[in-house]
Structure 1
Amino acid sequence: MTIVRLQNAGKQYGDRWVFRNVSFTVGARERWGIVGRNGVGKTTLFRTITGDDEPTEGEVWRHPGLRFTLLRQNRGEQSADTVHQAALEPFADLVAMEARIDAELEALGTVREPREAERLLKSYDRHVEEFRRRGGYEMRSRADAALEGLGFPPNTWQKPIRALSGGELGRLRLAQTLLAQPDVLLLDEPTNHLDLRSTEWLEEFLRGYPGAVLVVSHDRVFLERLADHVLHLEEGTAYAYTGGYESFLTQREERRTLQQRQYERQQEHIARTEAFIQKFIAGTRTNQAKSRRTLLDRMDRIAAVSGDEKAMGLRFASGGRSGGVVMRVDGVQCAHGERVLFAPFSAEVSRAERIAVVGPNGCGKSTLMRVLAGVTPPERGSVTMGTGVRPAYYRQDFTHLDPAKKIREEVAEAAPSLTFPELRGHLGRFLFSGDEQEARVGDLSGGEQARVALAKITLQKANLLLLD
């Protein structure tokens, strides 16, 4: 059964079309992978599907009563105090009903008047049945399973929200989104903050999900295991494919080959027709020439296949040569509240080394990076930079970006001496066109904010990169 249909949908911001002529349908149990380079409009498409944004042209039809939940990349506020309270927020109605049932049960133990007792008993039975029917007796086990599956063991469930790292907040938002159990799940880069075990749990959960799932992801393995349809946004529009990710790659190449062949044949036809028109437009076959000109003018032109999608031009400004020892870590220990993330350790980083910081979710990788970057002091120990070291720190949460500033203004902070043309050229290498450079950082998708952060860090003339 079709539950969502887009027909020639397009979305425009100012003079810029994000996408046009997008047509596809979503079935009740289908799994769609939404792919395409950063900035092509995947997040905008999601907002158009849910109705948060209206299409500029075309139509979006949704089955009456359809419920959506959209997981966005960007950080959102949490109203709950603890991890477990936040996981139960999607069940707010059931939690309130449970409290009402408990209150009625307590009242039944104290009421003396028979008619009042009968009224309370009927109300209690009615609420208990509704609670059972709506899955109230399973809500806590479902919340617990989602938390454990996404890397929150029971000893973290009473952890205050304010003490969570950016990655932990991302995983908590994902748990809330899954537990809401809407008819359509829309997930924007859901594996960003997951380790391998949590990613495998999410794959299994989504394969058994009773509704439709649409996922924006750059994780090819994840998409191949999950998706039965792929929507590829490119060249200002979208193409729908049936099958997994590998099947999509094959079909896309076949489509591009066919399109190029049709384009070349049409160009040959146009060239022959133009030659006929030029030869006879002023001669004895003028009417035929004019007729063919009219046909050419009305012809739907086939576009040539474009080259491969543009890639960012990553070039780091030189920070000069540092000393042989770049950083010394002496007895550093970090903690979240009373929980020690890692015991004191010492290390030395030498020039030109490439070091990967790995470990399961919540073990303190981001905390360590903040300590090494000098953003957060360690609980104990010290970090000392070597001679001539100029560090640059890439944060995963983008809290260092000013949401009120334009892209151009935000990136210019990293290199005030750049001329306007130089700044425009630099942003162009990060796939921001002229008009896009005037967009506000707070209006960007997570992928676009990542490009802004990279555009800044490549201008900082660093010789030590700390990349979270």
Structure 2
Amino acid sequence: MLNFKNIALRRGARLLFDEASFTIHQGEKVGITGANGAGKSSFFALIRDELHPDAGDFSMPPGLEIAHVAQETPAADCSAIDYVMDGDRELRRLQAELKAAEAAHDGLKQAELHAALDVIGGYEAQARASRLMSGLGFKAAQEQAAVGAFSGGWRMRLNLAQALMCRSDVLLLDEPTNHLDLDAVIWLQDWLCRYPGTLLLISHDRDFLDAIADHVAHIEQGKVNLYTGNYSAFERMRAEKLAQQQAAFQKQQREIAHIQSFINRFKAQATKARQAQSRIKALERMELIAQAHVDSPFHFSFAEPGRMSNPLLTLDAADIGYGDRIVVNKAGLSLSPGDRVGLLGPNGAGKSSLIKVLAGAMAPLAGKRNESMHLKIGYFAQHQLEQLRMEESPLWHFQKLDPQATEKDLRNFLGGFDFQGDKVMEPVRPFSGGEKARLVLALLVYQNPNLLLLDEPTNHLDLEMREALIMALQDYQGALVTVSHDRHLLRSVTDRLLLVADGRVEPFDGDLDDYKNWLGEQKKAEPKESAIEPASGVNRKDQRRLDAERRQRNKPLMDALKKAEQAVEKFHQEQRQLEQQLADPAIYQDADKNRLKDVMARKAQVDKALEDAEALWLEAEEKLAAAQQD
């Protein structure tokens, strides 16, 4: 049991919450919710004894094994599967003691340790680690690859696998779905539902919470309230407190009208019947959902797009891939105003590459991409967060985008994305991932595109911002294509699902429940692989040779990535040095005016070189990630 008695917790001078009293019992699965900055991560730090309460008492039974996901991954030379197995600390301790007993020729101690390993399932540990990695999207051939060979997102998956490998009593997961695709989210959801220990889960994915949580601890206005039931049950109970607010009724009616229009349009069409039934179920819940979010700080919408052609964009027999590697063959797609498309498919099948080609960020290897005369694309992808000018403010970004707009109008617009007061003037660099994502979305909304291309738009966004985005997208009148692991968003804003798999793009006849079943059938149909003895008949020696050849083949990509990282760091350092010189008042009083000109000219050159280096770094990382999927 985890016992919280009159707990107060501060970060600096700021009180996160106080008078928190509740108990989390063994085996319970608790979703931790609240706005960004409410204190969810600090709550985890309290349990891990990294923070101490400012008042009250926290207690738990001694000797509990607590697992959590590391935020940093060393660029280690050990294999990925060894890194995952390190999560079972007792296993590694017993293995180390056994090695020492063997060196000492202590037969009795060896026998004891072999028995202890058998009790904890030590001889099946590698197979268990292999299953965890497979579920999170790794292929068997990647298990022996060095940890340092993986990109940042894949290293986070390794950290998650390492936490799941631990035979823990308490598991703390902070936004575990952020670096996962939909397939891995579905697998993780099933795994956590079977997890026998006590689970505390911070997540902004409502479907994920609904399926797993049996309690919700909600942090708001300096209090922690524990609710019984899943996330939908929590929303119903919270909505009762807010039901009198007129805004709830208005939001509810708009969402109901949108879903009802879909049902009316498609319930008679056989190809849309399943999706219409899914919308009917969503409609039954809508009254409960809307009222629970009436006090959201986010209020924005897409303006009506200007002139639109039909179609807006087409792909004709487009081959999509990198270099000589084609991931999608002869893709054909036509997008018209009002189209609302969700892309499904396994990891590495080409969903993000397809969106890049649609956005014009990547050219097809063959075939044609045809734009209409009036096409105006709004493209959101995670790498765009890094393209923000980190030393500039949100207001600066908008003034750069629209120099004619008044500061008052821009501040009002930014307020809809909860950038209030002095926040609009602060540099972007220290912003959280969620704040940067909100700023990129705000810039996108402001430009009023008629084709939205959204690649995982909800990463880092909290529940309130996700709901606000969903509402805005429901009213959006242009065309929409999205890849998302957030099933609530997919259900709420898409009318058509396309499956990207086996090198093809085809309509998917069914809803997201059918897609989960499809994934299960695909897993069954896959040939069984083993990290110890591959099913193809390749022995261990040959497998090591193949792994070495694969590493050698990927070495140019790894070298290119390392070179790009070094260039980015070099220009970052020089940029900081030049900024320090320009911040010194003496340079403006110096009699030698040429020095100021030289520094400013060099600063402009370095800024441009840094932008180019960052673009090369992102390209190198994407190519390496794609190659690792082979």
Distance 1:357 1:437 in 2: 35
**Within-5 A mapping of 1:90-239:** 90-91=87-88, 94=91, 98=95, 119=105, 121=107, 124-125=110-111, 127-154=113-140, 157=143, 171-192=157-178, 198-239=184-225
The answer to whether the Cα contact below 8 Å between 2:189 and 2:211 also exists between their aligned partners in 1 is: yes
Once the two structures are superposed, residues 252-298 of structure 1 have per-residue CA deviations (whole angstroms, 9 ceiling, x without a partner) of 4566799xxxxxxxxxxxxxxxxxxxxxxxxxxxxxxxxxxxxxxxx
Matched residue, 1:112? none
Higher helix share: 2
Matched residue, 2:34? 36
Match of 2:75 among 59, 75, 79: 79
SS at match of 1:356: strand
Is the aligned partner of 1:459 residue 2:446? yes
Once the two structures are superposed, residues 66-88 of structure 1 have per-residue CA deviations (whole angstroms, 9 ceiling, x without a partner) of 4544448xx85463576545533
1:250/1:409 Cα in 2 relative to 1: closer, same or farther (>3 Å)? closer
- Whichever residue aligns with residue 224 of structure 1, its letter is D
Once the two structures are superposed, residues 364-407 of structure 1 have per-residue CA deviations (whole angstroms, 9 ceiling, x without a partner) of 21232233334445555564544343322211466525595476
Distance 1:454 1:12 in 2: 29
Distance 1:444 1:43 in 2: 16
SS at match of 1:90: coil
- Whichever residue aligns with residue 394 of structure 1, its letter is F
Q: How far is the alpha carbon of 1:346 from its aligned partner?
A: 3.5
Match of 2:350 among 364, 385, 390: 364
- Whichever residue aligns with residue 22 of structure 2, its letter is F
Distance 1:355 1:3 in 2: 44
Distance 2:52 2:396 in 1: 29
1:374/1:429 Cα in 2 relative to 1: closer, same or farther (>3 Å)? same
The answer to whether the Cα contact below 8 Å between 1:32 and 1:215 also exists between their aligned partners in 2 is: yes
Once the two structures are superposed, residues 224-256 of structure 1 have per-residue CA deviations (whole angstroms, 9 ceiling, x without a partner) of 332222112233422112333344344445667
SS at match of 1:431: coil
Matched residue, 1:408? 394
1:169/1:383 Cα in 2 relative to 1: closer, same or farther (>3 Å)? farther
1:86/1:451 Cα in 2 relative to 1: closer, same or farther (>3 Å)? farther
Once the two structures are superposed, residues 18-47 of structure 1 have per-residue CA deviations (whole angstroms, 9 ceiling, x without a partner) of 444433332332210122345544334334
Distance 2:320 2:191 in 1: 34
* Greater shift in the superposed pair: 164-173 or 235-244: 164-173
- Whichever residue aligns with residue 21 of structure 2, its letter is S
Matched residue, 1:7? 6
* Greater shift in the superposed pair: 219-228 or 156-165: 156-165
**Within-5 A mapping of 1:232-247:** 232-247=218-233
* Greater shift in the superposed pair: 184-193 or 120-129: 120-129
The answer to whether the Cα contact below 8 Å between 2:81 and 2:126 also exists between their aligned partners in 1 is: no
Matched residue, 1:273? none
Once the two structures are superposed, residues 343-382 of structure 1 have per-residue CA deviations (whole angstroms, 9 ceiling, x without a partner) of 2324343444333222233322123223333444555556
SS at match of 1:147: helix
Matched residue, 2:585? none
Distance 2:61 2:234 in 1: 27
* Greater shift in the superposed pair: 414-423 or 91-100: 91-100
Once the two structures are superposed, residues 154-206 of structure 1 have per-residue CA deviations (whole angstroms, 9 ceiling, x without a partner) of 35546787887887565444323322344322223334565666445433422
TM normalised by structure 1 equals 0.69
The answer to whether the Cα contact below 8 Å between 1:406 and 1:439 also exists between their aligned partners in 2 is: yes
The answer to whether the Cα contact below 8 Å between 1:390 and 1:464 also exists between their aligned partners in 2 is: yes
SS at match of 2:344: coil
The answer to whether the Cα contact below 8 Å between 2:376 and 2:450 also exists between their aligned partners in 1 is: yes
Which stretches in structure 1 are left out of the alignment for 5+ residues?
108-115, 259-304
1:88/1:181 Cα in 2 relative to 1: closer, same or farther (>3 Å)? same
1:397/1:48 Cα in 2 relative to 1: closer, same or farther (>3 Å)? farther
- Whichever residue aligns with residue 327 of structure 2, its letter is L
**Within-5 A mapping of 1:271-420:** 308-310=294-296, 312-316=298-302, 320-335=306-321, 340-381=326-367, 383-396=369-382, 399-400=385-386, 405=391, 408=394, 411-412=397-398, 415=401, 417=403, 419-420=406-407
- Whichever residue aligns with residue 27 of structure 1, its letter is H
The answer to whether the Cα contact below 8 Å between 1:9 and 1:23 also exists between their aligned partners in 2 is: no
1:127/1:45 Cα in 2 relative to 1: closer, same or farther (>3 Å)? same
Distance 2:19 2:424 in 1: 25
- Whichever residue aligns with residue 456 of structure 1, its letter is L
Q: How far is the alpha carbon of 1:50 from its aligned partner?
A: 3.1
TM normalised by structure 2 equals 0.53
- Whichever residue aligns with residue 199 of structure 2, its letter is V
- Whichever residue aligns with residue 425 of structure 1, its letter is N
Matched residue, 2:537? none
Matched residue, 1:428? 415
Distance 1:97 1:188 in 2: 29
- Whichever residue aligns with residue 328 of structure 2, its letter is F
Report the structure number with the largest CA radius of gyration: 1
Distance 1:387 1:307 in 2: 40
1:419/1:52 Cα in 2 relative to 1: closer, same or farther (>3 Å)? farther
Q: How far is the alpha carbon of 1:9 from its aligned partner?
A: 2.0
Distance 1:373 1:334 in 2: 13
Distance 2:42 2:237 in 1: 25
1:93/1:384 Cα in 2 relative to 1: closer, same or farther (>3 Å)? farther
The answer to whether the Cα contact below 8 Å between 2:2 and 2:58 also exists between their aligned partners in 1 is: no
The answer to whether the Cα contact below 8 Å between 1:9 and 1:60 also exists between their aligned partners in 2 is: no
Distance 1:159 1:336 in 2: 22
Distance 2:330 2:82 in 1: 33
1:427/1:129 Cα in 2 relative to 1: closer, same or farther (>3 Å)? farther
Matched residues, number: 407
Once the two structures are superposed, residues 400-419 of structure 1 have per-residue CA deviations (whole angstroms, 9 ceiling, x without a partner) of 25595476368547636355
Q: How far is the alpha carbon of 1:330 from its aligned partner?
A: 4.4
1:224/1:329 Cα in 2 relative to 1: closer, same or farther (>3 Å)? closer
1:104/1:344 Cα in 2 relative to 1: closer, same or farther (>3 Å)? farther
**Within-5 A mapping of 1:30-69:** 30-53=28-51, 60-61=58-59, 63-69=61-67
Query: Relative CO higher for 1 or 2, CA cutoff 8 Å, sep ≥ 6?
Result: 1
- Whichever residue aligns with residue 75 of structure 2, its letter is S
Q: How far is the alpha carbon of 1:429 from its aligned partner?
A: 0.9
CA RMSD of aligned residues (A): 4.3
